[in-house]
Structure 1
Amino acid sequence: MSRISIVGVPSSAASYAAGQDLAPAALRAAGLPAKLIAAGLEVRDEGDLPVQVWKPDGGHPLAQNAGPAAESLRQLAGRLAPVLARGDFALVLGGNCTIALAVVAALRRLEAGAPGLLYADRHYDLNTPDSTTDGALDWMGLAHALALPGCVDVLTDAFGPRPLLEPRQVAWLGVQPQRATDWERAQAARLGLHVATGQALAADPAGAAAAALDRLPAGPLAVHIDVDVLDFTDAPLAEDTGGRNTGPTLGQAEQALTLAARDPRARALSIGELNPTRSAGDPDALPRFADSIARILAVTGRG
C-alpha cells in the first residue's frame, strides 16, 4: 500500500491578491494530516515550498508575477517527481490553480503513459493575457497547459515540450459557463472539451464524475479541485466569493471526488484557491473541508 505524501505550496503570486498563500498552514491547523491518519492512511508531510505573496507587477500588468509563479511550479514538479516515483499518492495543498500544471508535469516524468487531469472548477481557466485585462494567471493555467495562442512563454515552457496537455487529457467538472469570457467559451467549443456544468455536477455528482473519467486517457490521473466550484454559502472557502447559492455543496463534490479517488489511475489530488480569511465567520468550514478530503482519500485503499 502506498502512503499519502503532503506538499504545501504557500503561494499567491499568480492570484488576484494575497490570501491563498495562507492555505497550506490553515489546512494543517484544521487537522488535515491527523484526520488522514485517523482514516487509516499512512502520511508523510514533505513540508512547504517557499512562501510567495502576491504583489502588483506593474512591469507585466497582463501577466503579473509570471516569472516567480513559474519558478514555484518548477520547484513543485521537482518536489513531486520523487514522491510519485516511489509510489506515494501526492496531496498538494495550494496555493492557486496553476499548481495543477506542476502535478501533471511530474506525472509526465513517470513515463507511464499520457497523464489525465480531472479539473473541478467553476471556471475553465482558459484565459490568456490577450483575453482578459486583470493579469491574474490563476484563471489562465489551463490555457498555458494547452499552449493556446497569446500565452506567456515563461509559463508555457516551464515544464519541457509544449503543450503540457492535449485537450483529450483534460475533463472539467462544475463549470459555470456564464462566468467565462467569450474567448474561453470559444476555445471550449473549438477544442471539443468535455465539460460538466456546476448544475450537472450538483444534480448527479457520481454520474458527472464517471462520465468525465471515462473520457480521460489510461495514464496516471491527477485530480484538482478549485474550492470556488463549491456553493460558497455552503462552504465559504474560496478566494472568489461569487459562487453563492449555485454549484455543488461540499457533500456533493465529495461524492464526485470520492469516485475519482477510487479510480486506479489516480495518483494525486491538488487543492487550489482556498483563502482562509473567507471562513472567518464559519469556524467549522475548514475542519469540515478537511474531513471531506480525509474521507475522499480513505477510499483509495492506500491506508
Structure 2
Amino acid sequence: MKKISIVGVPMDLGQMRRGVDMGPSAIRYAGIVDRLEALNYDIEDLGDIEIGRPTKKSQPGDSNLKNLNEVAEANEKLAASVDNVIQNNRFPLIFGGDHSIAIGTLAGVAKHYENLGVIWYDAHGDLNTSDTSPSGNIHGMPLAVSLGIGHEQLVNIAGYQPKIKPENIVIIGARSLDEGEKELIREKGIKVYTMHEIDRMGMTKVMEEAIEYVSKGTDGVHLSLDLDGLDPHDAPGVGTPVLGGISYRESHLAMEMLAESDILTSAEFVEVNPILDDKNKTATVAVALMGSLFGEKLK
C-alpha cells in the first residue's frame, strides 16, 4: 500500500491577491482524503504549516521582494516537513497556497535525490529574479530559486543550492513568459512545451516526450502543478489566470499518463484561491486531477 502524507501550506504572501491561503482547506473540503483512501492509499494529513504575518519591518531594505522574510521562513518549515515525510518512506503531497511554496517543497525533496526531475505544469515559467520580476512577487520565482538563481535568503533554504539542474526540468502549458524568463530558458536550455506545442502535437505526444525526457538520468521526479496551467474556464479560482490554457480533459490525460509511467516521487498542487472561485470548482478540479494522478480509472 502506497503511503501518502499531506502537508498544507496556507501561503498568500508570494503574491498580492488575498484568498489563496485558503487553498489547502478548499482542497480538503473538496474531498481529497476520501478520494485517495478509496484508491487504497494510507493517508496521513499533517495539517498546515504555520505562516507568519508580515510586519512593517518584514522587508529588508536592499530587496524589492515582497514579504521576503516570511516567505523564506515558511519555506524553511516546509522543507523540514517534506524532508521528514520522505525519511519516513512516505510520498509528500503538498497543497498550496501560492507557488512560492515550491521553493520549500523542492528544498525538502531534492536533498534525497542526486538528480531530481521536475515537471512544472503551469501557465508561467516562474523563472523571474528580483532583477527581472515586474512585480517583486516571489510566486513568480520558485523555479529560478531552485536552480540557485535569486536572493541568497531563498536559494539557500535548507542549507544547500542548487536544488535542481536545468536539464532535468520540463515546463508544460506555458503561455505567459516575461522577457527575462525567456532569456533564462534559452541560456539554460530548459525544455518547454508551450500551448502552441500542446495544440500542434496533442497532449499525448507532449506527455510521452516529457515523461521520457524527465526520466532520463534522474532518480526521482517531482510534479509541481499550478491550477492556472488549466484554462480559466475550467479553473477560475486562481490569482493569475491566463486565457487559452490546457483543458480539463487534456489535464486528466496528462495525470493518467503520469500515473501509468509510475515515475513521480512527490507532488504539489498550488494557487487554488476559493475567494476568486465559483462554488469551489477549482479545488474540485484539483481533487479530480489528483484522483487520476494516483490511479483512478474509468474502467
Using the TM superposition, name which of 262-271 and 71-80 deviates more. 262-271
The alpha-carbon deviation at position 35 of structure 1 amounts to 1.5
CA distance in 1, matches of 2:53, 2:250: 32
SS of 1:248's equivalent? coil
Cα deviation, residue 228, structure 1: 0.7
Given candidates 180, 185, 189, the residue that maps to 2:186 is 189
Q: Return the TM-score normalized by structure 2.
A: 0.89
Instruction: Tell me the residue number matched to 2:160.
Output: 161
Distance 2:264 2:209 in 1: 16
Question: For structure 1, which segment, 48-57 or 291-300, has the greater mean C-alpha deviation from structure 2 after superposition?
Answer: 48-57
TM-score (norm 1): 0.88
SS in 2 for 1:247: coil
Q: What is the match of residue 86 of structure 1?
A: 88
| Residues 1:249 and 2:247 are matched in the alignment | yes
Structural mapping, 1:132-171, within 5 Å: 132-148=133-149, 151-171=150-170
Distance in 1 separating the partners of 2:276 and 2:129: 27
Cα 1:285–1:122 change in 2 (3 A) is closer
Question: What is the match of residue 7 of structure 1?
Answer: 7
Deviations 1:152-176 (A, max 9, x none): 1100111323222220121111111
Identity between Structure 1 and Structure 2 (%): 24
- Offset at residue 25 of structure 1 (A): 0.7
Provide the rounded CA distance (Å) in 2 between the counterparts of 1:104 and 1:258: 23
The RMSD of aligned alpha carbons is 2.2
Residue 31 of structure 2 is aligned to residue 31 of structure 1: yes
Aligned twin of 1:68:
70
Could you say if the C-alpha distance between residues 132 and 259 of structure 1 is closer, same or farther in structure 2, counting changes exceeding 3 Å?
same
For 2:206, the equivalent position in structure 1 comes to 208
Report how far residue 141 of structure 1 moved.
1.2
User: Partner letter of residue 138 of structure 2?
Assistant: L
Whether the 8 Å CA contact 1:168–1:193 is kept in 2: the answer is yes
Q: Secondary structure at the match of 1:67?
A: helix
| Matches of 1:6 and 1:277, distance apart in 2 | 22
Distance 2:29 2:54 in 1: 22
State the secondary structure of the residue aligned to 1:143: helix
Runs of 5+ consecutive residues of structure 1 not aligned to the other structure: none
What's 2:293 paired with? 296
Question: Which whole-Å CA distance do the structure 2 matches of 1:143 and 1:55 have between them?
Answer: 26
Rounded Cα–Cα distance in structure 2 between residues aligned with 1:208 and 1:49: 35
Cα shift at 1:52: 4.7
- Secondary structure of 2:99's counterpart equals coil
Show structure 2 runs of 5+ residues with no match.
Answer: none
Post-superposition CA distance 1:187-236 (Å, at most 9, x none): 11111110001243356223212212222232111101011111001221
Deviation at 1:58, TM superposition (A): 6.3
Q: Report SS of the residue matched to 2:158.
A: coil
Structure 2: how far apart are the matches of 1:69 and 1:213?
A: 31
